[in-house]
Structure 1
Amino acid sequence: MKTLIVDDEPLARNELNYLLTQNGQFEKIEEAETISETLEKMLYDTYDVIFLDINLMNESGLDLAEKIKKMQQPPHIIFATAHDNFAVRAFELNATDYILKPFEQARIDAAVARVAAQIPPKSTEQTETLQQQDTTPEIQTNKAPSVLPIEVDERIYVLNQKDIIALSVEAGKTTLHTTEQDFVTSEPMNNFAKRLDSHQFIRIHRATIINKAHIQTIEHWFNYTYQVTLTHQLKVQVSRSYMKSFKQAIGLD
């Protein structure tokens, strides 16, 4: 199964990510902290279940659930929150479960089992197709040009790929961090990913792509992941979902 954790508190996301990893039924665990980031991820990927907090900064997880409910094939929603007074509304939105912080392994396992029981088993053909998709690099292997044009405020900048430190997504905006300055655009990061040099750039998180040439240090981080320091002291975290490919890309595996 694939899941997305939506919570604006990093510690809560880390805790839930760890418990879901311990559960062992997820091939992919991703994270988001805002509604816009969640919706952007759902444009490019599908999830079996979303663990959703109620209070998201100045936003409501209930509003997000309303949007998800209108999808043709919506994922299961499990509300994971510190508030027990929204349970009725949550189940009106077809929530599969409603769990309270602080999380416990047994309660998480029970919620996951409830979702798994409602997901039909994949056929052999579907499984093979998914395996092929999983082994396809997200940054396409191609004869990438040495430059990358981007449009910002009705002006086109042509960036040398070697000068790009990293690309990141936040609140629906893509930021290209370069050795000279940062460029913020509304163009989805995946559009850039298709044009990047696949030998130089690696994805370390659903919302982060880095240039290997700009890696300075790698430190152990929460839940057996890494924090990477890049040029200009830019710090990024490697998602658990990308740990294996990251280690292979830089020769640690």
Structure 2
Amino acid sequence: MKTLIVDDEPLARNELNYLLTQNGQFEKIEEAETISETLEKMLYDTYDVIFLDINLMNESGLDLAEKIKKMQQPPHIIFATAHDNFAVRAFELNATDYILKPFEQARIDAAVARVASQIQPKSTEQTETLQQQDNPPEIQTNKAPSVLPIEVDERIYVLNQKDIIALSVEAGKTTLHTTEQDFVTSEPMNNFAKRLDSHQFIRIHRATIINKAHIQTIEHWFNYTYQVTLTHQLKVQVSRSYMKSFKQAIGLD
């Protein structure tokens, strides 16, 4: 893999360069300290991943990420910063990971492993894309990131969307039910809904969104509706106003 470290602090670049060298998965490690220098390097070379600080002198790494996101084949972005209050915005920009200074080898290795796992299937995906060019699939996946960051009690958790069973609202609080635990936050459910994979998650009630992959059973319920049992025996009801879209989404219509 090839990587570019973007940070205006020489000591931080040196530290990260050393840890990436120790990781052993990079054939090329380059550095830049400004947005203009970064963009110039990207004109003449391609990178698998960019380690990006957020504060770059009088510039913002978030602005650079916006520009990179618009590229036809953008590199993975891992934010490497001393600030923990930009994580939600970072993941909205499709960041692969978000690591905090001071860096630790184990944390760097985990971030690199995440990138490597997403890069390896590329050759297969490119072959499938070529095969499907004449017959594009009826349903194409959206660009939603595979992770969803949430803030609970001043701590940010990064959840894999596939592990989210359902989202529900009660008394003004949003609960994210996952395979590991439940997370309760004051952030409105609609804020999360915009970032969920629209082909995987379906709304069954104005206060409930579920992950189709976690549906276990469906039973007839009152007033010609359904009760759905999800992973961990979580039971939810489909409201009448969402019955048609629910049946279409799971192939019952």
Instruction: Give the alignment's TM-score, normalised by structure 1.
Output: 0.49
Structure 1 residues 183 and 199: CA distance shift in structure 2, 3 A: same
Structure 1 residues 130 and 224: CA distance shift in structure 2, 3 A: farther
Structure 1 residues 154 and 218: CA distance shift in structure 2, 3 A: same
Contact 1:139 1:198 in 2 (8 A): no
Aligned equivalents of 2:245, 2:72: Cα separation in 1: 32
* Structure 2 unmatched ranges of 5 or more: none
Aligned equivalents of 1:109, 1:223: Cα separation in 2: 54
* Structure 1 unmatched ranges of 5 or more: none
- Extract structure 1 runs of 4+ deviating beyond 3 A: 121-253
Structure 1 residues 56 and 49: CA distance shift in structure 2, 3 A: same
Structure 1 residues 203 and 71: CA distance shift in structure 2, 3 A: farther
SS in 1 for 2:133: helix
Contact 2:52 2:77 in 1 (8 A): yes
Give the superposed CA RMSD: 19.6
Structure 1 residues 243 and 214: CA distance shift in structure 2, 3 A: same
Aligned equivalents of 1:165, 1:78: Cα separation in 2: 27
Higher relative contact order (CA 8 A, sep 6+): 1
Q: Could you report, residue by residue, the CA deviation over 1:24-63 in whole angstroms, capped at 9, with x for unpaired residues?
A: 0000000000000000000000000000000000000000
Contact 2:227 2:236 in 1 (8 A): yes
Q: Which is further off, 160-169 or 59-68?
A: 160-169
Higher-Rg member (1/2):
2
Partner of 2:2: 2
Structure 1 residues 82 and 202: CA distance shift in structure 2, 3 A: same
Q: Could you report, residue by residue, the CA deviation over 1:123-150 in whole angstroms, capped at 9, with x for unpaired residues?
A: 7999999999999999999999999999
Partner of 2:243: 243
Q: Could you report, residue by residue, the CA deviation over 1:155-177 in whole angstroms, capped at 9, with x for unpaired residues?
A: 99999999999999999999999
Structure 1 residues 229 and 126: CA distance shift in structure 2, 3 A: same
Partner of 2:169: 169
Q: Which is further off, 198-207 or 23-32?
A: 198-207
Structure 1 residues 39 and 169: CA distance shift in structure 2, 3 A: farther
Deviation of 1:23 after TM superposition, in Å, equals 0.1
Aligned equivalents of 1:234, 1:137: Cα separation in 2: 33
Percent identity for Structure 1 against Structure 2: 98
Q: Could you report, residue by residue, the CA deviation over 1:179-211 in whole angstroms, capped at 9, with x for unpaired residues?
A: 999999999999999999999999999999999
Contact 2:5 2:31 in 1 (8 A): yes
Contact 1:203 1:209 in 2 (8 A): yes
Deviation of 1:74 after TM superposition, in Å, equals 0.1
Partner of 2:101: 101
Structure 1 residues 73 and 133: CA distance shift in structure 2, 3 A: same
Aligned length in residues: 253
Q: Which is further off, 133-142 or 235-244?
A: 235-244
Aligned equivalents of 1:222, 1:105: Cα separation in 2: 56
Deviation of 1:120 after TM superposition, in Å, equals 2.5
Aligned equivalents of 1:37, 1:240: Cα separation in 2: 56
Instruction: Give the alignment's TM-score, normalised by structure 2.
Output: 0.49
Deviation of 1:18 after TM superposition, in Å, equals 0.1
Partner of 1:160: 160
Contact 2:87 2:156 in 1 (8 A): no
